[in-house]
Structure 1
Amino acid sequence: MKTLNTFIRTAALVATVSSLAAAASTAAAAPAADTRATTVVFVHGAFADGSAWDKVIALLQSKGLHVVSVQNPLSSLADDVAATRRALDKQAGPVVLVGHSWGGVVISEIGQHERVKALVYVAAFAPSENQSVADLAKDYPKPEGSSFIVADKDGFLTLTPEGMSKHFAQDVPAAQTRIMAATQGPVSGKSFEDKVTVAAWRTRPSWYILSEQDHMIQPALQKAMAQKISARIVTLPTSHVPQLSRPKQVADAIYAAAVYQPKPDVHPPTTRR
């Protein structure tokens, strides 16, 4: 009988170990979060174009994400929102909407689009309802780079090559900043007075990439906006274009937004009377 009991215990132990091994094997084989249905839509800012996201695009595509980079006309907030809406309307699945600089105003206005699941602000303006860029910046010192902005006779603004290399992208190689100066999109100066009617960050989870060495938007203003929108903040020691000088860190933040799954609300919603 003693021998039989020993045999039974040994058999049970072997079965348990086998079950645990099988479970571990299954867990190890489990795929990572499936992001194939998710699209990242990029919205560039002033003094730039859609190619400003090239380095980040390649990194996200390597992770299996679909990517679209909007080419903003930069002629008004309404025109840029319309261009972004067209890009969003074409997507079949959820979208992470990413805005840089002025692009933050655009994504704040259009970010409640039904496809948008999350917002990522990259050294970007994050206005509240009825706020403009001018409203956001008025209580902060004038950034160094603003002295290198020039206007043409039609009121469109460009950044000088010196401003691009020393203040917009001072941590980017000179050869690249020369190309950036040549390909930048002129922006209507009146756009900076356009006020948003919607603040999409109130209804969408948001991330904010804060540039500590920014000469175009004061870092203190960036911090205040990031805190206001209750964003998950990633702070980088970069110029105004972290997507070019620290593309991996920027891509990682965007990927985190793409795989983010909100925790289910364990409490029933409260009905307001």
Structure 2
Amino acid sequence: MTAPLAVLVHGLWHGAWCFDGVRAALGERGVDSLAVDLPLTDLPADTAALRSALDAAGRPAVLVGHSYGGAVVTGAGTHPLVRELVFLAAFALDDGESVSRTRLGDLPDTRLAEAMVVSGDEMGLDPVLGARLLYGDAPFEVAAAALARLRPVGRQVFRGVPGSIAWRGVPSTYAVCTADEAVHPERQRAMATRAGARTVEWTCGHSPAATCPEAVADLVAERVRALG
């Protein structure tokens, strides 16, 4: 039987590069991984990109979605090779929901909408507020390197609704980032509870792949090994 693979899915404004540290740590733990570069034009295109990557890999997979990547994992996780989902401060959406509109009741929000900068059909980030929300707990050099690589995203990504809800039939684990200033921790907990996910909590901000890659790798490696 082919050994399982960790498939890492980034969030908005990022790319596969943001998992470089996690992938290195997974390699040290003997876990194979790949990170998918999403087009970030709209959710259907991003979901199709992930499904194509799973087809090409041809191995049982644990899908790991960070932030918006959780929406992509939710839609693509019904792929027959997927064995488990891992959400990192991520959008575990339900039917009819998008990253800009969830039905979670009256929960606290963050200043993320305030940090967005519209330019035609794309959405960028204010460099000052965006840096604080995404990388406020990261060392300066780590944050600066990441912020220099961010890219605008298509405005349609905020309205995309998953075509299927994978967490209904696939086991899931949710890592809540308790100091997150981009996706409020209470929203994270509500999504984890609704999905029936096994939950862990980390005292970190929104970007654990940058600030605590070893913890991310430990969790992902544990879930991959649990598949046997």
TM-score band (shorter)?
over 0.9
Give the Cα–Cα distance (whole angstroms) in 1 for the partners of residues 107 and 153 of structure 2: 22
Which residue identity is paired with 1:204? V
1:214-255 CA distance string (max 9 Å, x none):
111111000000111111111011110112111111111111
Matches within 5 A, 1:140-219: 140-154=107-121, 156-219=122-185
Query: Which one is further off, 129-138 or 102-111?
Result: 129-138
What secondary structure does 1:133 align onto? coil
Kindly state the Cα deviation for residue 46 of structure 1 after the two structures are TM-superposed: 0.3
| Equivalent residue, structure 2, for 1:23 | none
Give the Cα–Cα distance (whole angstroms) in 2 for the partners of residues 95 and 261 of structure 1: 9
Which residue identity is paired with 1:145? L
Kindly state the Cα deviation for residue 137 of structure 1 after the two structures are TM-superposed: 7.0
Query: Larger helix proportion, structure 1 or 2?
Result: 1
Give the Cα–Cα distance (whole angstroms) in 1 for the partners of residues 24 and 215 of structure 2: 13
**Higher Cα radius of gyration:** 1
1:61-87 CA distance string (max 9 Å, x none):
112221111111100001101111111
Structure 2: state its 5+ residue gaps: none
Runs of 4+ in 1 over 6 A off after TM superposition: none
Task: State the percentage of identical aligned residues.
Answer: 33
Kindly state the Cα deviation for residue 114 of structure 1 after the two structures are TM-superposed: 0.8
- Equivalenced residue count is 227
Cα 1:151–1:137, aligned 2, differ >3 Å: closer, same or farther?
A: farther
Q: TM-score, normalised by structure 1?
A: 0.78
Preserved CA contact (<8 Å) 2:97 2:103: no
Preserved CA contact (<8 Å) 1:159 1:181: no
Matches within 5 A, 1:16-165: 37-136=3-102, 139-154=106-121, 156-165=122-131
Give the Cα–Cα distance (whole angstroms) in 1 for the partners of residues 174 and 221 of structure 2: 13
Preserved CA contact (<8 Å) 2:43 2:156: no
Give the Cα–Cα distance (whole angstroms) in 2 for the partners of residues 96 and 133 of structure 1: 22
Give the Cα–Cα distance (whole angstroms) in 2 for the partners of residues 137 and 214 of structure 1: 20
Which residue identity is paired with 1:80? D
What secondary structure does 2:199 align onto? strand
Q: TM-score, normalised by structure 2?
A: 0.93
Give the Cα–Cα distance (whole angstroms) in 2 for the partners of residues 183 and 163 of structure 1: 16
Name the Cα RMSD after superposition: 1.8
1:31-52 CA distance string (max 9 Å, x none):
xxx9x71111111000211111
Cα 1:84–1:261, aligned 2, differ >3 Å: closer, same or farther?
A: closer
Structure 1: state its 5+ residue gaps: 1-33, 263-273
1:105-145 CA distance string (max 9 Å, x none):
00000101011111000000001122211221774343123
Which residue identity is paired with 2:194? K
Cα 1:137–1:167, aligned 2, differ >3 Å: closer, same or farther?
A: farther
